[in-house]
């Protein structure tokens, strides 16, 4: 059991670091006020689907903190939490749709949709509260924040989906599930 916890902690560290590296693989133009389409979510979802929501949550939390330390934009402490550690940590909750179940393309999609929707919620709230002044005149702040954040998160989710399905078909061992955080160890 101790060895499994150590392996999980090592995987979390490696995947959080890989998230940083993959965040530099960007598709399309940069958004004027933050956000981009990259592969940052791939390692977080792999950990979540492989080791459960806790490992995915911690991986995302670390990836968000690393992202903050390597170029974050902060206007308020609560915005910092919403846009960085929390926005990436909630991606790990996508495992609730996949972990300890047979991994199918449909379950991967549902897990991605759940995690990405929660990340969208974090960025949306941050946008409404702290970045509403960027909304064009006459545009409701909530609508602007939703559309702005959706404009990069939806394509990023679809690209992440393509990568995860490709990995499922070509390297299914990436999804060999086991759990070591919070209890017993099991392989499926």
Q: Each residue of 77-128: pLDDT tens digit?
A: 999 999 999 999 999 999 999 988 889 999 999 999 999 999 999 999 999 9
On whether residue 144 sits in a domain, the answer given is yes
User: Of residues 184 and 179, which shows the higher confidence score?
Assistant: 179
What is the mean pLDDT of the segment spanning 147-167?
Answer: 95
Looking at the predicted structure, is the pLDDT value of residue 34 above 80? no
The reply to whether 48 falls in a domain is yes
Q: Is position 27 within any domain?
A: yes
- The pLDDT of residue 174: 82
In this prediction, residue 185 has a pLDDT band, given cuts at 50, 70 and 90, of very low
Residue 185 domain-assigned (yes or no): no
**CB contact burial 165-180 (16+ within 10 A = b; e otherwise):** eebbeeeeeebebebb
31 inside domain: yes
Q: Specify the pLDDT at position 177.
A: 78
Partners of residue 178 on adjacent β-strands? 187
Provide the b/e sequence for 139-159 (b: ≥16 CB within 10 Å): eeeeebbbebbbebbeebbeb
Give the CATH number for residue 46: 1.10.1760.20
Quick check: 158 pLDDT over 60? Answer: yes
Tell me, yes or no, whether 180 lies in a domain.
no
Instruction: Tell me whether residue 181 is in a domain.
Output: no
Across the chain, mean pLDDT equals 91
The reply to whether 160 falls in a domain is: yes
User: Domain limits at 94?
Assistant: 2-175
User: How many other C-beta atoms are found inside a 10 Å radius of the C-beta of residue 36?
Assistant: 15
In the chain, the number of structural domains is 1
Q: Give the global pTM.
A: 0.90
């Amino acid at each position: 059991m101790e060895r499994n916890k150590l392996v999980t902690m090592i995987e979390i560290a490696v995947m959080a670091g890989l998230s940083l590296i993959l965040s530099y693989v960007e598709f399309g133009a940069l958004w004027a006020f933050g956000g981009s389409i990259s592969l940052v979510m791939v390692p977080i979802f792999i950990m979540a689907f492989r080791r459960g929501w806790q490992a995915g949550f911690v991986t995302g939390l670390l990836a968000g903190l690393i992202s903050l330390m390597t170029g974050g934009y902060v206007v308020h402490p609560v915005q910092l939490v919403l846009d960085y550690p929390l926005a990436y940590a909630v991606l790990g909750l996508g495992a609730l749709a996949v972990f300890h179940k047979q991994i199918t393309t449909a379950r991967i999609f549902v897990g991605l949709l759940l995690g990405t929707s929660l990340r969208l919620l974090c960025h949306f709230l941050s946008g409404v509260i702290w970045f509403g002044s960027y909304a064009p005149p006459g545009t409701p702040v909530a609508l602007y924040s939703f559309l702005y954040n959706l404009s990069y998160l939806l394509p990023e989710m679809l690209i992440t989906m393509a990568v995860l399905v490709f990995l499922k078909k070509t390297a299914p061992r990436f999804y060999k599930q086991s759990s070591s955080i919070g209890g017993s160890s099991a392989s499926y």
